[in-house]
Structure 1
Amino acid sequence: MKRQGGFTLIELVVVIVILGILAVTAAPKFLNLQDDAKKSALQGLKGAMDGAAGIVYGKAAVEGKDSSGTAQNLDSGISVIWGYPAATSAGIGAAVNGLSTDWTFDSDSTGFFATFSNTTNTTVTTISGTSCYVQYVNATSSAAPTTTVVDSGC
């Protein structure tokens, strides 16, 4: 009688069980993509704010409105302080294209805060409480504005 080669049913079941265990332990690493996407989106918003601030500064310098700590409006209607967009909706909020439609934002004396548009309340306290936001702080006479990403709660 000729002996046939191949795998038994038990061997196949054992291999499937081992693959299942490996998949269960590896899946969380690959399924955590939403948090990474949120963090990347915040980095993109930071880049957009920094880029807009640089462009607005150039325009303010041309208009001669880059040397005052008092808010001034450019011909385009953007509010600037020291030539950079002010940390308000009339400043950086108006300078960044799409900010008002894609993000939730608010400002106070500590800066301009923006987060994802699915946030229900638009107060600085609520936005900063998410620990998933971008903060833009006004320029000073000696320093450009600062843009900070807080993504520990994403």
Structure 2
Amino acid sequence: MRRPSLNYTARKGFTLVEVLIVVVILGILAATVLPQFTSATEDAKESALKQNLQQIRSQIDLYRFQHNGLVPAKGSVVSEVFLKAMLCTTDAAGTSTGVLNPYDPGNGDFGPYLLGQFPPNPFNGKSSVSVTAGGSNPKSMTIGWWYDSTTGQIRPSLPDTMLARDGVTPLNMF
């Protein structure tokens, strides 16, 4: 009588069940890890927003101090006037020289208050500023910031539905 051979041929590849088990395990891992990355991204954006606002507001306060209580672009509704006041040098009356480099001869006495460009809103990537004289925040994703040229108040231009980490405070109220 002949004995069965113990020679097994090596398998090449995985069975369907093995592949499905691996896919299910990867799906479970992804479902638990991805929300943590999303949360970290939103936290980083909120922190960057607060940091940008702190920088902009402190420079508006410095402008106000150096210009005898006047805020940048006082009473204007033209964005370029505000941006020039913040990004270019100015004289004591607040008139912008249009010069970006504070080390050029013949510049104004003060500024620039922000170097290079206006900081972007981290939630929409926009650096543009909507300037109003006593108006309200447009709360639009197409504009980076809202500035009131009568009070010197600046806020992010974001819809009311975008909330901070606390889940209650709209980001446009920072």
TM range (shorter): 0.3 to 0.5
If asked which structure has higher relative contact order (CA below 8 Å, sep 6+), I would say 1
TM-score by length of 1: 0.46
Name the larger-Rg structure.
2
TM-score by length of 2: 0.42
Structure 1 or 2: more helix by fraction: 1
Structure 1 or 2: more strand by fraction: 1
